[in-house]
Amino acid sequence: MRRVSVFLALLLCNVYFTRHVNGARILAIFPLEIPHQFFFFQEILWTLVEQGHKLDVISHYPLIRPHPNYENIIHLTGKGPRFTFNLTADTLDSLANKPVEYYAEQYGNKACELLALPEFKKLIEEPQTNPPYDLVITELLYANCYFAFGRHFKVPVVAVSMSALPPYISEPLGNPVNTAFVSEHIDGSILHMNFWQRFKNTLHTWWTNYRIRRVTEAQNSIVKTHFGPDMPDIRELERDLSLLLVNSHHSLNGVRPFTPAIVEIGGLHVRDDGTELPEELKAWLDSSADGFIFVSFGSLLAIENFPKDIIAELYSALAKIAPIRVLLKGAAPEALPPGIPTNVLALEVVSQRQVLKHGNIRAFVMQGGSLEIHEAVMFAVPFIGLPIFPEPQRNVKNCVEKGVAISMDFGDFTADKFTAAVSEIVSDAKYKNNIITLGRKFLDRPRSPLETAIFWIEYILRNGGDSLRSPAVKFSWWQLALLDIYAGITVAVIVVIYICKRLTLTVIRRLFRPHPTLPTSKKMV
């Protein structure tokens, strides 16, 4: 009988852990149509289904490698705004200087409007029950209305950020933000800030957080419209986050305090998928006796739509650096303006990782996104950054301070400046040596970024949504700043001082009070 009981107990444990670890049902929501971001998230999704989990996915893109445990339950393709940017003479300044309200509106409020789709309405009103959901995974980029699915299904919420930790989400997670050394301001040093830089950084961080929160307050009405009036507001839903995976690493982004609910997974997307370079391209790179530089501005910027003056300067600059060759990724030759230099090979599609691994590469010219920088660091390729958007501007400035990159301004781009930058980065050994050292630190981890992400997601499945949550999420800002404690101490000190003063005055009065003179009696004669 005892053996039977032990067997049943073991069987129940096996069923429990199979259900909650190896066989969880997960709802994954990725409402933004930004290709490179979803491909980053897809590495996590693919590994989860390989681990035995069932994923119901809402996105704009199908899984590259189909799997029976992966189902696109809502296809968003063509149903929301697509985020691509044409760099023209008219838009260059506006793209570089768009206020944070623009991004909060476009990436946040506009993305939340997709909840009005009939498919979402059906998912909300007719949730899966066989089996029910165990977890919600979504992306973190202003559209925090999707956290409501966690509260609606009564399951933990895991978010993935394509960038380093956004400062506006630190408070809801109970994570400390110290603007004395955690920089969110582009102007000035990122690693070592003086008084005025810390002053500007503090004001910038507070002001930016306020503006983001003011714009995204509009999501409250969207959430209550689709989930019901009893659904909490967006600020409270942000506190429901059980785990946040951020695309950063302390070797690049600096050492800063994190609660256990914030885990760095920078470099997660970089892995050897077995892709080989086409024979013709490989032969071209192999025969580059003086080396080559790789030029790619990512999926958000179309090279063929660059301002004509910038393209002319770029062509002139690329021709000047011959015999160094140039591999230009992003557009087919027929899509580019005429005049491509003879030392340039333009390709629309190329395996970026395989190119960066090639032994003849001398430098990488990029916009400065996190994914590109992580690849450059992992493969030890120094780079020239031409950032436009705020985050790449911070990324590139950070790398310049580490001595692994050179920064240039698109608005002030000339052939001579570009040629000088290329000449410096390929001839000065410090850039290569520094990025080799940085790459060694970046890769020195107990487990890979992907393994780290999967471990902590499954940790939440095993141990519950509150297992990593900081107690600080239940405190208001003035309690976390200990203002009530300081006020109490101040009042106590004032009371003690007042009492001491009163006692001292009383004692002094008693000691120095004039004694009454007794009347003297006349002497009898």
Quick check: is 13 in a domain?
no
For residues 451 and 36, give the distance between their C-alpha atoms in angstroms, rounded to a whole number: 20
Quick check: is 515 in a domain?
no
Residues 468 and 401 in one domain: no
Global pTM value: 0.88
pLDDT confidence bin for 523, thresholds 50/70/90: low
| pLDDT of 459 | 98
| pLDDT of 152 | 96
Three-state secondary structure along 456-503?
A: HHHHHHHHCCCCCCCHHHHCCHHHHCCHHHHHHHHHHHHHHHHHHHHH
- Select from 375, 362, 373 the least CA-distant residue to 399: 373
pLDDT confidence bin for 517, thresholds 50/70/90: low
Residues 381 and 439 in one domain: yes
pLDDT confidence bin for 87, thresholds 50/70/90: low
Segment 506-510 mean pLDDT? 87
Do the beta carbons of residue 225 and residue 140 sit within 8 Å? Answer: no
Query: Which SS3 state, helix, strand or coil, does residue 203 take?
Result: helix
Mean pLDDT of the chain: 87
Quick check: is 520 in a domain?
no
Tokens standing for residue 98:
């768009």
| pLDDT of 88 | 56
Residues 487 and 464 in one domain: no
Task: Tell which wins on pLDDT, 281 or 480.
Answer: 281
Query: What type of residue sits at position 214?
Result: R
For residues 92 and 101, give the distance between their C-alpha atoms in angstroms, rounded to a whole number: 18
Angle at Cα 271 formed by Cα 241 and Cα 375, nearest 5°? 85
Per DSSP, 217 falls in state T
C-alpha dist (Å) from residue 116 to 119, 223, 253, 435: 8, 10, 38, 47
Task: Tell which wins on pLDDT, 264 or 415.
Answer: 264
- Select from 28, 22, 16 the least CA-distant residue to 53: 22
On the question of pLDDT at 404 being above 90, the answer is yes
CATH number at residue 261: 3.40.50.2000
Residues 347 and 468 in one domain: no
Residues 389 and 458 in one domain: no
| pLDDT of 59 | 93
Residues 364 and 436 in one domain: yes
Do the beta carbons of residue 31 and residue 58 sit within 8 Å? Answer: yes
Residues 70 and 215 in one domain: yes
pLDDT confidence bin for 167, thresholds 50/70/90: confident
N-terminal to C-terminal alpha carbon distance within the chain: 124
Q: Out of 170-184, 200-214, 370-384, 452-466, pick the least confident.
A: 170-184
Do the beta carbons of residue 389 and residue 95 sit within 8 Å? Answer: yes
Quick check: is 190 in a domain?
yes
Quick check: is 486 in a domain?
yes
Residues 212 and 71 in one domain: yes
Tokens standing for residue 218:
């509009």
| 27-66 confidence digits (pLDDT tens) | 999 998 888 888 899 999 999 999 999 999 999 988 877 8
Residues 495 and 416 in one domain: no
Domain limits at 420? 279-443
For residues 384 and 392, give the distance between their C-alpha atoms in angstroms, rounded to a whole number: 12
Quick check: is 382 in a domain?
yes
How many domains does the chain divide into? 3
| pLDDT of 92 | 59
| 202-219 confidence digits (pLDDT tens) | 898 899 999 999 999 999
Task: Tell which wins on pLDDT, 520 or 39.
Answer: 39
Quick check: is 517 in a domain?
no
On the question of pLDDT at 189 being above 80, the answer is no
Segment 359-364 mean pLDDT? 96
Quick check: is 18 in a domain?
no
Q: Out of 61-65, 148-152, 303-307, 460-464, pick the least confident.
A: 303-307
Task: Tell which wins on pLDDT, 197 or 28.
Answer: 28
Residues 233 and 361 in one domain: no
For residues 38 and 61, give the distance between their C-alpha atoms in angstroms, rounded to a whole number: 8
On the question of pLDDT at 199 being above 80, the answer is yes
| pLDDT of 432 | 97
pLDDT confidence bin for 17, thresholds 50/70/90: very low
Report helix, strand and coil shares of the chain as percent, to nearest 5: 50, 15, 40
Residues 150 and 40 in one domain: yes
Per DSSP, 70 falls in state E
On the question of pLDDT at 184 being above 80, the answer is no
For residues 396 and 374, give the distance between their C-alpha atoms in angstroms, rounded to a whole number: 12
On the question of pLDDT at 19 being above 80, the answer is no
On the question of pLDDT at 18 being above 50, the answer is no
| 316-360 confidence digits (pLDDT tens) | 999 999 999 999 998 777 778 888 999 999 998 888 899 999 999
Segment 282-289 mean pLDDT? 94
Residues 421 and 462 in one domain: no
- Please give the share of the chain, as a percent, with pLDDT higher than 90: 58
On the question of pLDDT at 14 being above 50, the answer is no
Helix (H) / strand (E) containing 383: strand 383-385
